[in-house]
Structure formats: C-alpha cells, structure tokens
Structure 1
Amino acid sequence: MQHRTKHEPSSSLLEVTLDPGEAMLAEAGAMVARSPSLRTVVRLNAGRGAGLFGRLKAFVIALLRKLSGGETFFVNHIEAPEGGGWVWLAPPLSGRVRHVPLQGETMLFSAGSYLASAGDIDVRVRWGGLRAVLAREGIFFIEASGVGDLWITSYGAIEELPCDGSLLVDGGHLVGFDASLALEIRSPGGGLMGLMVSGEGVVCEFTGRGRVLIQSRSADALVGWLAPLLPP
C-alpha cells in the first residue's frame, strides 16, 4: 500500500493512498482528513474472524478500559469502494510514525502505540496481566500478527534494539516487542531502596532472541514533570 510520513520527526503525519478495493484499519480518533471517495465504519476490534464469544470478549475489554479511565478499543475500517482515495492519520503525542512490515510474525505493542494496519494482519487486544500493570503498560497489550503493513507511534523517537539473550528496558519507554521474547518484571537494582529512590520504578527484562522497540521519551515522565505545576 502506498504511504509516506510527513512533518517528521516531531509532528508526524501519515498519508496512505488506497487503490480501488483496498482497505485498512486505523485507531479511532487518528484520522485527520480523507478524500470523500473513501468509506469509514467504526468497529469494535475483536480480531479477524471472531465469533460471538470473541466479540463479547472485546466488548468486555472495551468496557473495562473505559471504567479504568482508558480509551475503549475501537478502530476505523477505511475502504476504497470505487476510484481509490487518500487518508491522513496522526498520533496523539509529538513523535514518530514508524512503518513495520510483518511477514508472518507476531508482535506485542504498548497501549497507544498502534496507529494503523493494512493487509492480512489480525489486530486484537491481549490481556497483559499483572506484569503489564507493574511495568506501567496498563492491563492490555495490542497484538498484531500476519502479513502486511503496520504503523506504530511513539512519544519521541523510535529505536530498535536487538535482544540476543537478555535486555533491560524501562517500562515507560517500551513501545513493542516480538512475541517470541519472554518478559519478566524486576527491580532496576539496589533492592527495595533502589526501587524507591532510583526513579526507574520497575524494568522489563526480555530474554530470548528478537527485537524490542523503545521510545526516546516517556509519557510517565511528562506527567510527573507537569503534576507539581498544576493547580490543586
């Protein structure tokens, strides 16, 4: 699918051109503008081919995210029935948009990192469990698998780190990782004192072989910097 990213690095805008018959998914609220020839339908994201149970599960997850103060996980299904067209998409924070081509592998992404996808890619919400909560990633990950184009976003720049054995990443800087990697949550070092005064909280330890995507800035750090400046 034809695409390009404009206004990099801090004000990224993704432009995708759809030929007749092509379609893509985009995170709800990401669309900036589109040609009138395209058609957009908002859907609850239950994953491709999900039956009644899958849709019910997606609805419960969306409800839990709404009650916990997060966004509900809806996507825009954008298609070009005739004549083709274009669409502009933008992330909520200042940072990069990165194209990640998938060739049959599965990747997990932090909530908020997913922007759009096209092709034979299945995107669904995956329960992260206690490890995701401790890593400040929320309760859910976004799982993407299949073959096609995937676009992700970050707060700041995106760097890819290879993991060949073991790798430590601060949870607030984690964007995504190969599902083949094992993830454990641990203290940054120094025991209880290190956990309390290091400012790092807990870190994600990855083991195995694969790639880890990180962002150069942390939204948690931004919130911590702004909080003392806000009126009570």
Structure 2
Amino acid sequence: MQHRTKHEPSSSLLEVTLDPGEALVAEAGAMVARSPHLRTEVRLNAGRGAGFLGRLKALFVALLRKLAGGETFFVNHISAPEGGWVWLAPPLSGRVKHIPLQGESMLFSTGSYLASAGDIDVKVRWGGLRAVLAREGTFFIEASGAGDLWISSYGAIDELSCDGSLVVDSGHLVGFDASLSLAIRSPGGGLMGLMVSGEGVVCEFTGRGRVLIQSRSAGSLVGWLAPLLPP
C-alpha cells in the first residue's frame, strides 16, 4: 500500500493511497480528508473473528473508556472499491511511524495506534494493575499479524533495543514487543523518591525485543498547563 508522511516532524500528516479492493483500518477521529470514492464504516474494535462474547467485551470496553476517560474505542474501516486516497492525522503534535509487521505482536499505549492495513488484527488488551500504575490507562492496544501499521507519538519516536533489561519512564512509553515482560517499579529512593522525583513510576522490561519511546510526555504537558488554567 502506497503511503507517505508529510509535514514532519511536528505536524505529521499520513497520506495513504488505496488501490481498488484495498482496505484500511484507522482510529476513529483520525481522518482529515479522503477522496469521494472511498467507503467508511465505523465499527467496534473487537478484533478479527470475534464472536458474540468478543463483541460484547468490546462494547463493555468502549463504554468503560467513555465513562472513565471521555473516549471510546471505535475504528473506521475504509474500503476502496474504485481506489482513492485518505489523509490521517494524530491528535497531538509529533511523528507518525510506519511499522511493517511480519507475524509478530506488539502492544501500544492508548492513543498511539493510528492505522493499519493488511492481515493485521487490532484489539484491546487488558493491561491489569501494572498499566494503571504506569499511567498508561487500563488497556493496551495489541496489533498482531502481517501488514502495515502506523503509530503516532507526542514528540519524536525513538526505538530502544532491550537485551536483558531496560528501564523506561512510563510517560514516554509508546509501544513494545509482546514477547517482553513488563514490571512497574519505583524510580528509586523508596516512597520519598516516588513522591518528589517527578518521575512517577518506571517500566522495567525484561527479555529481548524492541521498545518504542516518545521524546515528550503528555502527562507532563498536562501538569505544566494545569496551574495556568482558571479555577
């Protein structure tokens, strides 16, 4: 599938050209413009092949996220019976990164997923208490299979290689290989370090795989803006 990213690095815009019969899955709200021949259908993100229970779970997750965070987890299925183009943009200023998946599985922080094409299954995965403590939300986005995947970040995206262990600040985590084990740790100094270091908690990865990080933290931006807002 032909694609290019324009207006980098701070105002990235993804342009995808679809040949007749091709299809693209995009995060709801990401579309900026498209050719009139494309068809768009909004669906719950239950994952491919999900039965009744899978769709019920997806509906529950969407409602929970709507109540807890003011957002839902829907995706746009964009098809091209006659071919066409579509522009997609992330909500925050930053980069768009293309990741060609070749049968592996990756987990991403909520909000990092932008679009995918090919034989890729994208679904919500329960992150457990570790995700809540890491300020990454209660759920991760899991992408697996073979095809094209596009993710976005706040700031630049860099890739680190974990060969044994690796520590990443939770607010800068974008995604990681599902083969890695994740544990939540204090940044050091016990309770005092947790309270005054300004680092919150950190994510410690073990195993071998890649970890994607962003150069800026949305949580830090919120903390900087909060005192400036009127009561």
In structure 1, runs of 5+ residues without a counterpart are none
| Structure-to-structure mapping, 1:80-229, within 5 angstroms | 80-82=80-82, 84-229=83-228
Q: Which runs of 4+ in 1 moved over 3 A?
A: none
Alpha-carbon deviation of 1:70? 3.6
Q: CA deviation at 1:71?
A: 1.3
Alignment-derived partner of residue 37 in structure 2: 37
TM-score by length of 2: 0.99
DSSP-derived class of the 1:155 partner? coil
> Structure 1 residue 24 and structure 2 residue 42: aligned?
no
Tell me the secondary structure at the aligned position of residue 42 of structure 2: strand
RMSD across aligned C-alpha pairs, in angstroms? 0.5
Listed one character per residue, the Cα deviations across residues 24-75 of structure 1 (whole Å, up to 9, x for unaligned) are: 1000000000000100000011001111110000000001101102411000
Q: CA shift at 1:162, angstroms?
A: 0.1
Percent of matched pairs sharing the same residue: 88
Alpha-carbon separation, structure 2, partners of 1:7 and 1:156: 13
Question: How many angstroms does 1:210 deviate by?
Answer: 0.1
Query: Distance in 2 between the 1:194 and 1:53 partners?
Result: 43
Task: Tell me the SS of whatever aligns to 2:179.
Answer: coil
Deviations 1:127-183 (A, max 9, x none): 001100000000000000000000000000000000000000011000000000000
1: CA distance, partners of 2:194 / 2:172 = 17
Cα distance in 2 for residues equivalent to 1:92 and 1:191: 36
Hey, what's the Cα distance between the residues in 1 that align with 2:211 and 2:70?
Answer: 24
Q: Please give the alpha-carbon distance, in whole angstroms, between the structure 1 residues aligned to 2:186 and 2:147.
A: 37
How many residues are matched?
A: 231
In the TM superposition, what is the alpha-carbon distance from 1:9 to its structure 2 partner?
Answer: 0.1
2-side partners of 1:202 and 1:33: how far apart?
39
Secondary structure of 1:65's aligned partner: helix
Structure 2 distance, partners of 1:24, 1:52, is 24
Q: Which residue number in structure 2 is paired with residue 78 of structure 1? A: 78
